[in-house]
Structure 1
Amino acid sequence: MRHIILLTLTGLLLYPGFAAGIEPCNPNASEDARTILQWLESLPARETNRLIVGHYFNGTVRQGIDTNIKPIYDHTGKWLALAASDFIWWNSENAGGNVEALTEWWKAGGLVMLSWHISNPADPAAGYKGSCDIERALTEGTDVNRRYMNSLNKGAEWLLRLQEQGVVVLWRPFHEMNQGFWWGKKDKLQFARLWVHMFKYFTQQKGLNNLIWVYAPNVANYAGYLPEDYYYPGEEFVDVVAIDYYGRPSLNDIAGGYGKLEALGKPFGISELGSYGDSKSVIDDIQSKCPRTVFVVPWYGKFSFLAHGNVEGLVNHPWVMTRDEVDWRAASEIKGLSP
C-alpha cells in the first residue's frame, strides 16, 4: 500500500490534473481513447512538455512521413509527436500500407490524426466541392444517400483496421465547415444532423470506439466565414475543439475563435496551421495568445515546418513534446494505481 501511495503522489507531481475526469462523448470509447482524452485535458497544467507538435502530409503515409517528418528527425535527432493524414489520399490500393505505417508510428510512441475531404455524394465529379442537399444524403433510398453511405462504409473500414491494431485516432471530420470550401456548408441544424449521423453510425453501428472526435472550424477572419462555434453540434458529440488557422502571421487572428472554443470546456488544439514566422515562433505565439493549446499541426508544402525553418528551435522548445516524450501510457499506469 505504501508503494502504491508513493507512486500515486509521484504521478500527481509528474502529471498534474491528469485525473480531471473528462469523459469521451462515446460512452463505449476504448480505455486508451479515454486515457488519451484525459491526458490531453491535463497538459495545460504542466510547465514543460505540454504541447504536442505534429504534421499533416499528402500522398501515402510513408511518403508523407518521409517528406515532412523524417527530415526534421534527420536534422535534430527528434521525431515530431503526431502524424496526420487525410482520407482524400487513401484508396483500396494503398489503405493497407497506410494502416501498417500508422500502426508502426503508433507503436513507436506517436499519436495519429485523420481528417477527410469526403466526396460530394450529390456530384461525385465535383470531388469534395459543390453543393449537396444534406436531407437527401441522410434519407434512405435516395441515390445521394447510397453514395454517401458507401463513402462512410469505406472510411469506417479503414478506421476499423486501425482499431484492430489498437491505434487511437484523433478523428477530424467535416473540418472548416464554417467557410464553405466543401459541400456541407448549410444551415447549422442540417450540419448538426450530418455530424450526429456519422457519430452514431460509426460508434453504434460500426463499433468504432478508438476515435477522439475533433470539431475543427476555420478561424473566422474573412468575410463570409461564420463564427467558429456556429456549427458546434453539441458537447455530447465532441471530445476536442480545434481551429484551422490561415489568418495573419503570429496568430494575430486567433483570439476570438480561441476564446469561443476554449470556453466550451474541451481540450483545444490548432489542427491546421498555415500562417506563421519560423517554426519556433509558433510556440512563442501559442504561449502568449492561446496558452491552453495542446497540439499544433501545420499543413504540408509551403505551410510546412521545413519551409519555415528553425526546426531545431521548435523541437528543443521547453513546451514542445516530441515523440519520445509522449507519456500518456506512463500517466495511465500511475492513474491505475490511484486508490
Structure 2
Amino acid sequence: MKNNFIVLVAIILMPSLGACQAKKERSFKTLDFLYEISGSKTIAGIHNREPNANPDQWTNEIHRLTGKYPGLWSGDFLFQEENIENRQTMIDEAVTQWEKGAVINIMWHTCSPALNEPCGWNKEGVLSHLSDEQWKELTTDGTPLNKEWKSRVDEISGYLEYLQNKGVEVLWRPMHEMNQGVFWWGGRPGPEGTLKLFQMLHDYMTNEKGLTNLIWVWDIQDFGTLAADAISYNPGDEYWDVLALDVYDDKSGYSEEKYNIIVEAAKGKPIAIGECQKIPTVEQLKDQPKWTFFMGWSELEVERNTEEQIKKVHDAENVLTLDEMPGWE
C-alpha cells in the first residue's frame, strides 16, 4: 500500500518536475530574476531610441530627473543609414550597461525585405506593406525574398553573437506589436501570418545561427481586440519566454481587464509593460504586481509625465532602479 502511494505521488508530480527541468535547461540570470520578482517588484526601464551614436541619451535623462538610473536599458538596431552605421556603438553600450547590472532589452525596427535598406519611417520603409503573394514568398524557405530576409537576420545575429561572447543576456523583442498592422510584419492573424514569421525567426536564430543568449519576448499592443489578439497572435509557448504589452491607449490605461488578459495568456511566465508613454503609478504597480518591468518610450516618458511623477515612481519601494539590481556576476 505504501509503495503504491509513493508511485501515485510520483506520477502526480511528474508534470511539475518536467517543467522545472525545462526551465533549468534554459537558465538565464535575467529570466530567473524576472521570475523571482514577479508579484512583488517592477524594474524601471527606458528605451534609447535614435541616435545610435548616443545610445544612453534617455537613460542619462532619467538619471538627471531622478538621481537614479533605470534598471533596464533598451536599444534598437534601427533602419536609417546613420543608425545602421552606429549599431556597434549601441551594442557596446549594451555591454557597458550589462556590466553595471542592468537588464538588456534590444528590439529591431527593420526595413521590409521586399524594399531597400536603409529605409525610412514611411510607406517605403518600416511602415510598408507586403502583398499576400510577397508574404507567402517571404515565409517559404529558399525563395529570393526569404533569402534576403535571412541575409539581414544574419547581420543582426553577428551583433547578438558578439554580446553572447561577452556573456551578455538579451531580452530580444523582435517583431514587436505583432497585432499592429502599421508595421510590415504585423497585423496578420492566423497560423500563416505574423506568428509564422516570428516562429521562423526564432528557429533560424536559435538553430542556424546558434544564439543561446536570447530571452525571447512576445509583444502585443493594447488595442480593443486585446483579448482575441492574445490568442490569435500567440506563436506558441516554446517560442517565447516573456510576454510584454505595449500600453498606448491612455484612455483605458492600465486597466484591470488588460492586466488579467496578459496574466492569463502568460500561463505563469513573466509579464512586462514593453513600451509606454504614460508610466504606471506606484499604486497601479501595487495593484498589478506581476509586471516585472516597464519601459518608458524615450522622449515620450519625459513629455507625457511630470518630473514629480517620474521621480515618485523611481523612488518607490516596489520599483527597482539600477542601484537596487543584483548584478550578473
Whether TM-score is above 0.5 comes out as yes
**Separation in 2, partners of 1:120, 1:257:** 30
Structure 1: distance between partners of 2:285 and 2:21: 23
Secondary structure in structure 2 of the residue aligned to 1:40: helix
Q: How many residues align?
A: 295
Residue 54 of structure 1 is matched in structure 2 by: 45
Segments of 5+ residues of structure 1 without an aligned counterpart are 1-19, 331-339
Aligned to 2:318: 319
SS of the residue 1:96 aligns to: helix
Which residue is 1:11 aligned to?
A: none
Residue equivalent to 1:308: 306
Q: Distance in 1 between matches of 2:61 and 2:156?
A: 30
User: Which region of structure 1 is more displaced relative to structure 2, 314-323 or 303-312?
Assistant: 303-312
Q: What's the CA shift for 1:298? A: 1.2
Does the C-alpha gap of structure 1 residues 227 and 266 become closer, same or farther in structure 2, counting only changes over 3 Å?
A: same
Where structure 2 has 5 or more consecutive residues not aligned to the other structure, the ranges are: 1-18
- Contact 1:109 1:323 (8 Å CA) reproduced: yes
**Structure 1 position 84, deviation (Å):** 0.9
Structure 2 match to 1:117: 109
What does 1:184-223 align with in structure 2 at a 5 Å threshold? 184=185, 185-190=187-192, 191-221=194-224
Tell whether the 8 Å contact from 1:268 to 1:292 is kept in structure 2 after alignment.
yes
Aligned to 1:297: 295
Deviation at 1:221, TM superposition (A): 2.7
Q: What is the aligned-residue identity percentage? A: 26
Is this contact kept in 2: 1:59–1:89, CA < 8 A? no
Q: Which moved more, 1:121-130 or 1:206-215?
A: 121-130
SS at match of 2:45: strand
Out of 228, 232, 235, the position equivalent to 2:234 is 232
Mapping 1:50-129, distance limit 5 Å: 50-61=41-52, 63-66=54-57, 68-88=58-78, 91-124=83-116, 126-129=124-127
Asked whether the equivalents of residues 128 and 182 of structure 1 are also in contact (C-alpha less than 8 Å), the reply is yes
Is the alpha carbon distance of 1:109 and 1:35 closer, same or farther for their aligned partners in structure 2, counting shifts above 3 Å? closer
1:213–1:118 distance in 2 versus 1, CA, 3 Å:
same
Task: Return the offset for 1:134.
Answer: 2.7
Q: Write the distance in 2 (CA, Å) between the matches of 1:36 and 1:226.
A: 30
How far apart, in 2, do the equivalents of 1:112 and 1:266 lie? 18
Q: After superposition, give the CA deviation of every residue in 1:294-323 in whole Å (9 maximum; x if it has no partner).
A: 100011223347853223212210011111
Alignment-derived partner of residue 43 in structure 1: 37
Q: Distance in 2 between matches of 1:183 and 1:225?
A: 22
Shift of 1:168: 0.7
Give the C-alpha shift of residue 88 in structure 1: 1.2
Please report the RMSD computed on the Cα atoms of aligned residues, expressed in angstroms: 2.7
Q: How far apart in 2 are the matches of 1:303 and 1:102?
A: 21
| Farther-moved stretch of structure 1 (79-88 vs 116-125) | 116-125
Query: Against the structure 1 CA distance between its residues 80 and 295, is the aligned structure 2 distance closer, same or farther, given a 3 Å change threshold?
Result: same
The one-letter code matched in structure 2 to 1:85 is G
Distance 2:70 2:291 in 1: 16
Alpha-carbon distance, 1:327 to partner: 1.6
- The answer on whether the counterparts of 1:39 and 1:328 sit within 8 Å (CA) in structure 2 is no
Secondary structure in structure 2 of the residue aligned to 1:78:
coil
Normalising by structure 2, we get a TM-score of 0.81
Counterparts of 1:312 and 1:62 in 2: how far apart (Å)? 27
Please list the CA deviations of residues 194-227 of structure 1 after superposition, one character each: whole Å capped at 9, or x if unmatched. Answer: 11111111111111111110111001237x9952
